[in-house]
């Protein structure tokens, strides 16, 4: 049978872009459909604009620290309109760059939402297209719990477009999105209240990482309320009133309420049932949630329909941009590049761009103990970096290595502190290669640097 395209990709985010360009480079005829700006969550309303906000949030502390080195810094003020406009301009520039790269690769861009009609047919803008293979890469979206008054709250989609800097922002959600934005908004000069239904933030991370970040957030002036939930939100003349489940606590009144309690795969209205694509259900953890449906795939990103594949957050495996890119390229190599391969989800490094920053690769201490019992050894260091001595601040850096005592292999590396992501990226190479503690010990440190601590821990 003759098809309009060898490959039709639904979704021009990180995974879809990577797969479509790689497939086209092998000679495949490829189309990609997207109803939003090209680039996906990472470029439009995720990694890129968020990291720019992180940079901006650090300047007030840098101005303060400069005084310890003898610099005289005058009064500073953030021009909010300039700030959000500059970020928006950069997002649009990057989106146009990705469109140009698609054109250069010979990929046809169809600027609309596509829907499956059957296993080989999609509909876009009222027109039907056939394809030998179809790749679904539509990502995820933020979700709000079904709780009275939550319609007044915003999500991570809208926070980049606030027209005024909030005086007081209340945030729920103790994952990396809620934690990062709490730190960003505090750094930008907002009063921040963070509400967590648990005792600790960042579930799933190493406990030392969780404790260090939580302590750092409190030291930076973020009000943290634990072990309670928001049960109702009312719109008042002076802002939004958040009633808490713990009746001993006063309601929180803020002018902006950020809901960062989770994201779900964006599977709605894709027509998956028309093509026999199976979903897997996951119970969202928390009050006011229903189930979340992700596309079920095998190790080759193949769905229950043999010619339909899915990558990225829509599969709910590891929801990170580099993972989506890796999955997309592995799919294209396997199907069009005569190089059948599986993308490895083991030892994937990640970062939390909070203040203090954190990054990690490999097993947490709890995971290592569960897998290896007592056959592990922990190396940990905590210190004040040299940078803060003249600045007169008590900021701390924590580094941790988890070692299998029988093989000496590094099972996990964790860091909280300045440039954690930049440092762990290099460490991750060693962990991925199976380095041992002896290998780390044999490596000469760069002095004076914080990173040298990873090779001097005893």
Total residue count of the chain as it appears in this document:
458
Question: Are residues 135 and 166 located together in one domain of the fold?
Answer: no
| Sign of torsion over alpha carbons 362, 456, 394, 83 | negative
Confidence at residue 353, expressed as pLDDT on a 0 to 100 scale: 98
| Sign of torsion over alpha carbons 351, 352, 356, 358 | negative
DSSP letters, 254-273, are ESEEEE-S-EEE--TTS-GG
H helix and E strand count, the chain = 11, 23
Confidence at residue 336, expressed as pLDDT on a 0 to 100 scale: 98
Tell me, yes or no, whether 40 lies in a domain: yes
Confidence at residue 441, expressed as pLDDT on a 0 to 100 scale: 98
Dist. CA 272–CA 275, nearest whole Å: 5
- Residue 419 gets the label, from left (phi > 0), alpha (psi -120 to 50) or beta, of left
Dist. CA 450–CA 420, nearest whole Å: 10
E-strand stretches of 158-299: 168-172, 191-195, 223-225, 230-236, 239-244, 252-254, 256-259, 263-265, 279-283, 291-295
Question: Are residues 83 and 99 located together in one domain of the fold?
Answer: yes
Containing structural domain, residue 273 = 5-140+264-336
CATH number at residue 414: 3.30.390.30
Tell me, yes or no, whether 233 lies in a domain: yes
Residue ending a domain, among 199, 231, 261, is 261
- Neighbour count for residue 2 (Cβ, 10 Å): 5
- Give me the number of domains the chain comprises: 3
Tell me, yes or no, whether 429 lies in a domain: yes
Dist. CA 245–CA 259, nearest whole Å: 16
Confidence at residue 193, expressed as pLDDT on a 0 to 100 scale: 98
Dist. CA 93–CA 87, nearest whole Å: 10
Confidence at residue 283, expressed as pLDDT on a 0 to 100 scale: 67
Give the catalytic positions in this structure. 447
Confidence at residue 229, expressed as pLDDT on a 0 to 100 scale: 97
Residue ending a domain, among 215, 238, 261, is 261
pLDDT means over runs of 10, the chain (458 residues) = 96 98 98 97 96 98 96 95 98 98 98 97 96 98 96 97 97 97 98 97 97 98 98 96 97 98 94 97 71 92 98 96 98 98 97 98 98 98 98 97 98 98 98 98 98 97
Tell me, yes or no, whether 284 lies in a domain: yes
Question: Are residues 162 and 115 located together in one domain of the fold?
Answer: no
CATH number at residue 74: 3.50.50.60
Question: Are residues 122 and 155 located together in one domain of the fold?
Answer: no
Give the tokens for residue 336. 């069009």
Nearest alpha carbon to residue 396 among 202, 190, 217: 217
Residue ending a domain, among 336, 364, 381, is 336
Q: Based on C-alpha coordinates, what's the Rg of the chain?
A: 24
Confidence at residue 289, expressed as pLDDT on a 0 to 100 scale: 64
Confidence at residue 338, expressed as pLDDT on a 0 to 100 scale: 96
Question: Are residues 279 and 244 located together in one domain of the fold?
Answer: no
Q: Are 360 and 379 spatial neighbours (Cβ–Cβ below 8 Å)?
A: no
Confidence at residue 12, expressed as pLDDT on a 0 to 100 scale: 98
- pTM, 2 dp: 0.96
């Amino acid at each position: 049978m003759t098809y309009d395209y060898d490959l039709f990709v639904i979704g021009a985010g990180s995974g879809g872009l990577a797969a479509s360009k790689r497939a086209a480079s092998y000679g495949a005829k490829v189309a990609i459909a997207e109803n939003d700006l090209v680039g996906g969550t990472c470029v439009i309303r995720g990694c890129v604009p968020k990291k720019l906000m992180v940079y901006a949030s650090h300047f007030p502390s840098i101005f303060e620290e400069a005084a310890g080195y003898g610099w005289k810094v005058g009064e500073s003020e953030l021009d909010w309109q300039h700030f959000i406009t500059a970020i928006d301009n950069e997002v649009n520039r990057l989106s146009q760059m990705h469109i140009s790269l698609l054109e250069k690769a010979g990929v046809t861009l169809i600027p609309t939402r596509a829907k499956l009609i059957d296993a080989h047919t999609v509909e876009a803008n009222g027109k039907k297209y056939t394809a030998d293979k179809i790749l679904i890469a539509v990502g995820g979206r933020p979700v709000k719990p079904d709780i009275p008054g939550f319609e007044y709250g915003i999500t991570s989609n809208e926070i980049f477009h606030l027209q005024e800097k909030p005086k007081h922002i209340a945030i729920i959600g103790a994952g990396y999105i809620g934690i990062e934005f709490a730190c960003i908004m505090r750094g930008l000069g907002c009063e921040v209240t963070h509400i967590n239904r648990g005792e600790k933030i960042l579930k799933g991370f190493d406990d030392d990482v969780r404790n260090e970040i939580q302590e750092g957030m409190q030291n930076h002036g973020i009000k943290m309320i634990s072990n309670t939930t928001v049960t109702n939100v009312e719109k008042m003349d002076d802002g939004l009133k958040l009633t808490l489940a713990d009746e001993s606590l006063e309601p929180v009144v803020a002018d902006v309420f950020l809901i960062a309690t989770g994201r779900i795969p964006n599977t709605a209205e894709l027509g998956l049932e028309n093509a026999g694509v199976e979903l897997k259900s996951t119970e969202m953890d928390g009050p006011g949630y229903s189930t979340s449906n992700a596309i079920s795939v095998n190790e080759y990103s193949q769905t229950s329909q043999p010619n339909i594949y899915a990558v990225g957050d829509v599969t709910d495996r590891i929801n990170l941009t580099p993972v989506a890119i890796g999955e997309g390229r592995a799919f294209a190599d396997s199907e069009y590049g005569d190089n059948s391969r599986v993308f490895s989800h083991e030892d994937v490094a990640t970062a939390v761009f909070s203040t203090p920053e954190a990054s990690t690769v490999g097993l947490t201490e709890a995971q290592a103990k569960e897998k290896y019992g007592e056959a592990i050894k922990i190396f940990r260091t905590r210190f004040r970096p040299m940078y803060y001595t003249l600045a007169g601040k008590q900021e701390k850096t924590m580094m941790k290595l988890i070692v299998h005592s029988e093989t000496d292999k590094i099972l996990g590396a964790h860091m909280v502190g300045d440039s954690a992501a930049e440092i762990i990226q290099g460490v991750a190479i060693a962990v991925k290669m199976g380095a041992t503690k002896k290998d780390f010990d044999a490596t000469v440190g760069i002095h004076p640097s914080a990173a040298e601590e990873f090779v001097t821990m005893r």
